[in-house]
C-alpha cells in the first residue's frame, strides 16, 4: 500500500462541519492513499495559547481550555484576547465560539485564538449552544467559560490557585470567582450590586451546597460537563445558573473569594441596576423551581 504524506503550514484554516465553520491554527497533513485524500488537523507550535508546552501524556490533564462565546463583540474581543495572549503562560488554549456575528468579531478573534468556531445555521444560536460548540472543540480537562467583556487579572496566579482548589478536592466539579466591574467604569451602584451578588453566590455554593453562578466565569471539570451533557441548548438565558445547579447534584461547586474577574458591567449600566436585579431574581427563582427562566428573550447589549 502506497502512502505519501505532505505537510504544509497555514496560519488559519477553515473547516466546515454541520451548521458551523471552525477556523484553527493548524498544520494540514495530506495523506494520499488509493487516490483518496484525508485532511487531519494538528495544532501548530508557537501559535496563540500554549498548547505546544504540554507533553503528549499530559496533554489534556494539564491544559486549560478557555471558551469565549461571542456575538457582535468587535468592540471588545480583541482587547480580551490580547490580554490573555500577553499575560497567560500556563498551558492553555483559547477557543472563540461565535454565534454568527455580523461585525468583525470572528476575523479579529483569528489573530489570537487557537480555534474560532462560527455558527452558520438558521435562526439565532442560543448561548448554551455556543458554549457547547466551544467545549466540543476543546482539548483540556478543565473547561473555562469566560464572557467576551471579562478580564482575569494576573491569569497565571489566578489559574494556579484555581487548579489547586481542584487538586485538593477531587469532588469539586465547578468553580466560579468574585466579580467586579472594571475600576475605571465602576460606580457606587456597581460596588453594591457586586458585593450582594458575590455574597449570595458564596452562601449558595459554599454554605448551602446549592450550585449558583453567573456566566462571566465558570471553570468546570471536563468529565462532569460531559456527564451532564453540557449546557442546556433550549434556554435563551440563565443556562449558566442552570449548569451550576445541576453540577451541585453530582459534586461540589464553590466560589473562591480570592479569585477575582473584572467585567464591563454594561448590562447594569444600560438597563439600570434596579431592573437588572429584579430580572436576575425572578429568573433565578424560575430556574430553581421550574428549570427554565421567566424571560422569553435576552437582548444582547454591546
Q: What is the pLDDT of residues 258-287, one digit of tens each?
A: 999 999 987 767 777 777 777 767 777 777
Domains defined for the chain, CATH in brackets: 55-290 (3.90.550.10)
**How far is 11 from 44, CA to CA, in rounded Å?**
8
Listing DSSP states for the chain in one string gives ---EEEEEEEEEEEEEETTEEEEEEEEEEEEEETTEEEEEEEEPTTSSSSGGGS-GGGHHHH-EEEEEEESS-TTTHHHHHHHHHHH--SSEEEEEEE---SSSHHHHHTTT-SEEEEE-SSSPPPHHHHHHHHHHH--SSEEEEE-TTEE-SSHHHHHHHHHHHHHH-TTEEEEEEEEEE-TTT--HHHHHHHHHHHHHHHIIIIIS------TTEEEEEHHHHHHHTSS-TT-SS-HHHHHHHHHTTTSEEEEEEEEEEEE--HHHHHH-HHHHHHHHHHHHHHHHHHSS-S-S------
User: What's this model's pTM, rounded to 2 decimal places?
Assistant: 0.78
pLDDT of res. 296? 64
Taking the chain (302 residues) in runs of 10, the rounded mean pLDDT of each run is 30 52 45 28 38 41 87 94 93 95 94 94 89 96 96 95 96 97 91 91 96 95 97 89 95 96 82 72 74 68 62
pLDDT of res. 285? 73
Amino acid at each position: 500500500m502506497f502512502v505519501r504524506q505532505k505537510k504544509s503550514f497555514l496560519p488559519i484554516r477553515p473547516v466546515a462541519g454541520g451548521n458551523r465553520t471552525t477556523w484553527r491554527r493548524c498544520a494540514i497533513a495530506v495523506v494520499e492513499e488509493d487516490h483518496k485524500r484525508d485532511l487531519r488537523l494538528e495544532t501548530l507550535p508557537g501559535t496563540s495559547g500554549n498548547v505546544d508546552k504540554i507533553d503528549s501524556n499530559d496533554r489534556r490533564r494539564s491544559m486549560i481550555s478557555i471558551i469565549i462565546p461571542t456575538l457582535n463583540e468587535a468592540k471588545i474581543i480583541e482587547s480580551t484576547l490580547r490580554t490573555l495572549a500577553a499575560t497567560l503562560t500556563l498551558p492553555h488554549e483559547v477557543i472563540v465560539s461565535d454565534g454568527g456575528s455580523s461585525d468583525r468579531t470572528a476575523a479579529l478573534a483569528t489573530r489570537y485564538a487557537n480555534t474560532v468556531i462560527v455558527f452558520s445555521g438558521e435562526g439565532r444560536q442560543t448561548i448554551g449552544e455556543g458554549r457547547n460548540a466551544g467545549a466540543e472543540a476543546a482539548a483540556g480537562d478543565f473547561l473555562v467559560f469566560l464572557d467576551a467583556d471579562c478580564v482575569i487579572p494576573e491569569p497565571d496566579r489566578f489559574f494556579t490557585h484555581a487548579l489547586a482548589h481542584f487538586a485538593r478536592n477531587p469532588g469539586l466539579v465547578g468553580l466560579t470567582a468574585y466579580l467586579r466591574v472594571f475600576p475605571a467604569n465602576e460606580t457606587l451602584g456597581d460596588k453594591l450590586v457586586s458585593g450582594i451578588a458575590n455574597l449570595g453566590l458564596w452562601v449558595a455554593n459554599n454554605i448551602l451546597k446549592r450550585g449558583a453562578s453567573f456566566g462571566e466565569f465558570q471553570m468546570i471539570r471536563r468529565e462532569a460537563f460531559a456527564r451532564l451533557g453540557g449546557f442546556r441548548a433550549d434556554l435563551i438565558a440563565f443556562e449558566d445558573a442552570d449548569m451550576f445547579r445541576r453540577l451541585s447534584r453530582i459534586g461540589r461547586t464553590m466560589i473562591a473569594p480570592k479569585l477575582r474577574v473584572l467585567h464591563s458591567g454594561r448590562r447594569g449600566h444600560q438597563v439600570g441596576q434596579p431592573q437588572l436585579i429584579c430580572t436576575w431574581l425572578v429568573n433565578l427563582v424560575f430556574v430553581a423551581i421550574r428549570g427554565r427562566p421567566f424571560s422569553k428573550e435576552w437582548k444582547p447589549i454591546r
